[in-house]
Structure 1
Amino acid sequence: MSYFSTFLVYLFYGLAFFSIGCAILFRNFRYSKLTISHSLWALAAFSFAYAFYEWSELYINLFGDRIQEPKSTYVEWLRLSKLSLAFLFLLLFAWMVTVVQSKRIRQIMRAVLLIVSAVYLAVFLNGLSGPSLSKEAITSLEVYARFILAFPATLIAGACMISYGRQLADDKKAYGRYFRYTGYTFLFMSLSAGAFPVEMDSSFFYLRVGVAYLLLLFLYLALNVFDKEKARMVESQLHQAYLSDKYKAIGQLASGVAHEINNPLASSTLSLDMLENRLTEQKQLDLVKRTRLGIDRAATICTALLNYSRSAEEVTQKTFINKAVSSALQLLAHKARGYNISICGNDTIYLFCNPIKLEELVINLVSNAIDASGKNKDIMIRFEEKVIDGYEYILLTVTDNGCGMDIQTQNKAVEPFFTTKPIGQGTGLGLAICAQIAADQKGTLAINSSKGVGTTVTATLAKEI
């Protein structure tokens, strides 16, 4: 090739790999759910190292005849070091990306990578121990590096990318084809850059350049998936922020409405008490009783709304779990009649919280368990201490063997005003209140349920806040 052709070919060949490294480097994979995202940094490191190697090759091809001994030998050693470093990063990428394979295939591929690494190390050390470190010996080591390291590493990386693309396609992910195309390009690269030396035909180097730019193209298209993931994440966060503001506004409105409704309800209840004392006929008394039930129901809903929207700071104190559970069950005695409610937990377990809130948590969980139990009357309340990430928590669990919930219902269960109960039998605030109480206690509320089997709700509460 002419000087000008050599300059352009090496320049653009190195630029292709440098662009691959930049395409990976300038993307944020921190929140990505794609399996290979954690391994792409090794591919970026290989791309940058290989790009600088090819650009140094450009300099040597153009001006190598001006470099005299012993500097020329040092330059050859520098070339070999850069090439070996680049291929070691490629080997590392191939090792990491095998995670997409089954355990058996992953073990075989990693064993191959370990073997070729050991073989190249032996060849490299044997070259060092030779009588003379000539440029010809170093050139031979470069050929071995391509064939022993680059060829199997690129071959395995390509096979894994193809496999991963097929897995994505099986999951109805349209972008899986770009990962497959990237894998096929890796296979071509394993032949063009690893198996066959450039010296066999100058036109073969043009093929390498073409393969490098195909790899850049398909990898760029595959990496666009991460941009779409980030866009979806931002959109989801904005949606959650919108819902949070919406619920906050609804809570403030509901609090005001509930407060205003409570006053006339209290007045109506007082009037009913006075009327009930003056009536003697049973039919009239039954009508008053039915009216009272309706007013009490409305008052209960208003109280739940006020409790859900209340945000005032509350004083915490040492509260024993068994006492809070016993107190809650006493308040539920009329509703729990006929149910087998068992309690399992150490009487010495306590946490620092608002005892009224803890009782409210137990009341709502047990009340839901009773409503869902149906013919099966067994309900279990369990509480225990557990250390999570170095902090002490109390796990309060309520289990029933009732109707259970499907996945869609579980995902919506803690949303305000969502209920599966018939009209007039549920406000849809019970689990929402429980989730808020758990969050106030620096904890979480987890629901594990199966349709027709039963439900287990676990409140994880920090022992101290």
Structure 2
Amino acid sequence: MSEQNIDYKRAYERERKARDELEGLLEAQTRRLYEANIELEDKVAMLEKQKNVILKTEKMATLGTLAAGVAHEINNPLAYVSSNIESLFDFNDTLVGLLHLARELSQSEEIDPDLKAKFVELQKGMSFELMAEDIVDIGVDVQEGVRRIAGIVSNLLSFSRPKENKSSNVNLAEVSRSILKLAASQLRNVVVKTEIEEVPETCCNADAIGQVILNLLLNAKDACESELTRQSCVGLSINAIQEHILISVSDNGVGMDETTLTKIFEPFYTTKDVGKGTGMGMAIVYGFIEEHNGTIHVESKLGQGTSITVSLPIIN
């Protein structure tokens, strides 16, 4: 082999080696860029999620402040109305007696004609008999209206401020059984399926978590009421996984669309008929779970039902 061919071979080998090294460097750099891009995408998604959480938290805090103000403004006149209604009920028997007496006097032939004429004139708008029949029903309706307003105010206050901290070590399996007994009359028209396992005690506000379970059960029951084509079923399960206690409530009701799913935790948002819901139940649930550093996950399909799972950390 000539010296010229040897030099050419050496040059070729050097060029090939340099090219292989360059391709290796390029491949490694491309791999690093790809991994960096994946990491960047994950961080962008995490930041977007955190932004949404912050926006939701700020929104809930603002609404909480507004709710507290509205609740206090309503509470004062509500106290007057409620007190006066109680007084009216105390007067009720006397008023009804006077109306019956007035009706009898208006039909009597033994009273002064001028007085009788006045009784007759008074009854032109509405008879004493009808007034006596309606006055009790009217009072009951007004009392029911006041009761509903008081319930709304109570929900507003529960949403706007944390309740007195009464945290203690409790067994949430026992809490759930108590809630089932409490809600038995409300759930009598649905089949209730339970899978309640014994779970470790955890430090929490038993009243608050009990309210969460009750709200979720009643919402599940309501979701089944308009589903008439199959037997209505509501499920409640309690179990522990690693360092968390899971509370799941499911139903085979009407389910929710995507729009409803994005709004269910907003205060005053409700899909129930007028007079049947205040839209505060799930907002209160969200607030209680957040106070306990828990999470809540919702899965739902229209026409198939809904499953809501609450995860609470076990705190000793």
- TM score, norm. by length of structure 1: 0.49
Match of 1:196 in 2: none
Shift of 1:361: 0.4
Task: Return the alpha-carbon distance in structure 2 between the equivalents of residues 461 and 427 of structure 1.
Answer: 26
Shift of 1:330: 3.7
Does structure 1 conserve the Cα–Cα contact (< 8 Å) formed by 2:199 and 2:245? no
Shift of 1:283: 2.2
Task: Return the alpha-carbon distance in structure 2 between the equivalents of residues 330 and 294 of structure 1.
Answer: 27
Task: Return the alpha-carbon distance in structure 2 between the equivalents of residues 315 and 143 of structure 1.
Answer: 77
Alignment of 1:81-120 (within 5 A): none
**Greater helix percent: which structure?**
1
Match of 2:263 in 1: 412
Amino acid at match of 2:180: L
Match of 1:454 in 2: 305
Match of 1:260 in 2: 73
Structure 2: runs of 5+ lacking an equivalent = 1-5, 31-35, 94-131
1:373 is aligned to 2:224: yes
Structure with greater contact order relative to length (CA < 8 Å, sep ≥ 6): 2
Task: Return the alpha-carbon distance in structure 2 between the equivalents of residues 138 and 313 of structure 1.
Answer: 85
Q: Secondary structure at the match of 2:186?
A: helix
1:385 aligned residue (228, 240, 246): 240
Which stretch of the first structure deviates more once superposed, 295-304 or 254-263?
254-263
- The count of aligned residue pairs is 263
Match of 2:277 in 1: 426
Does structure 1 conserve the Cα–Cα contact (< 8 Å) formed by 2:268 and 2:280? yes
Q: Secondary structure at the match of 2:16?
A: helix
Shift of 1:443: 1.4
Taking a change above 3 Å as real, the CA distance of residues 342 and 269 of structure 1, as seen in their structure-2 partners, is farther
Task: Return the alpha-carbon distance in structure 2 between the equivalents of residues 377 and 236 of structure 1.
Answer: 36
Match of 2:64 in 1: 251
Match of 2:176 in 1: 325
Task: Return the alpha-carbon distance in structure 2 between the equivalents of residues 350 and 228 of structure 1.
Answer: 40
Task: Return the alpha-carbon distance in structure 1 between the equivalents of residues 50 and 155 of structure 2.
Answer: 28
Does structure 1 conserve the Cα–Cα contact (< 8 Å) formed by 2:199 and 2:239? no
Does structure 2 conserve the Cα–Cα contact (< 8 Å) formed by 1:404 and 1:450? yes
Match of 1:140 in 2: 12
Amino acid at match of 2:76: N
Q: Secondary structure at the match of 2:213?
A: helix
Which stretch of the first structure deviates more once superposed, 276-285 or 143-152?
143-152
Shift of 1:461: 0.5
Task: Return the alpha-carbon distance in structure 2 between the equivalents of residues 363 and 317 of structure 1.
Answer: 20
Structure 1: runs of 5+ lacking an equivalent = 1-133, 159-222
Task: Return the alpha-carbon distance in structure 2 between the equivalents of residues 464 and 227 of structure 1.
Answer: 34
Match of 1:269 in 2: 82
How large is the Cα RMSD of the aligned pairs? Answer: 3.7
1:364 aligned residue (190, 215, 223): 215
Taking a change above 3 Å as real, the CA distance of residues 464 and 267 of structure 1, as seen in their structure-2 partners, is same
Amino acid at match of 2:151: T
Task: Return the alpha-carbon distance in structure 2 between the equivalents of residues 378 and 460 of structure 1.
Answer: 22
Amino acid at match of 2:217: V
1:338 aligned residue (186, 189, 200): 189
Taking a change above 3 Å as real, the CA distance of residues 242 and 325 of structure 1, as seen in their structure-2 partners, is closer
Match of 2:251 in 1: 400
Deviations 1:3-50 (A, max 9, x none): xxxxxxxxxxxxxxxxxxxxxxxxxxxxxxxxxxxxxxxxxxxxxxxx
Does structure 1 conserve the Cα–Cα contact (< 8 Å) formed by 2:199 and 2:240? no
Task: Return the alpha-carbon distance in structure 2 between the equivalents of residues 398 and 230 of structure 1.
Answer: 33
Taking a change above 3 Å as real, the CA distance of residues 142 and 385 of structure 1, as seen in their structure-2 partners, is farther
Task: Return the alpha-carbon distance in structure 1 between the equivalents of residues 83 and 181 of structure 2.
Answer: 26
Does structure 2 conserve the Cα–Cα contact (< 8 Å) formed by 1:384 and 1:395? yes
Does structure 2 conserve the Cα–Cα contact (< 8 Å) formed by 1:341 and 1:379? yes
Deviations 1:168-216 (A, max 9, x none): xxxxxxxxxxxxxxxxxxxxxxxxxxxxxxxxxxxxxxxxxxxxxxxxx
Does structure 2 conserve the Cα–Cα contact (< 8 Å) formed by 1:449 and 1:455? yes
Task: Return the alpha-carbon distance in structure 2 between the equivalents of residues 346 and 232 of structure 1.
Answer: 36
Q: Secondary structure at the match of 1:403?
A: coil
Shift of 1:227: 10
Match of 2:137 in 1: 286
Taking a change above 3 Å as real, the CA distance of residues 261 and 152 of structure 1, as seen in their structure-2 partners, is same
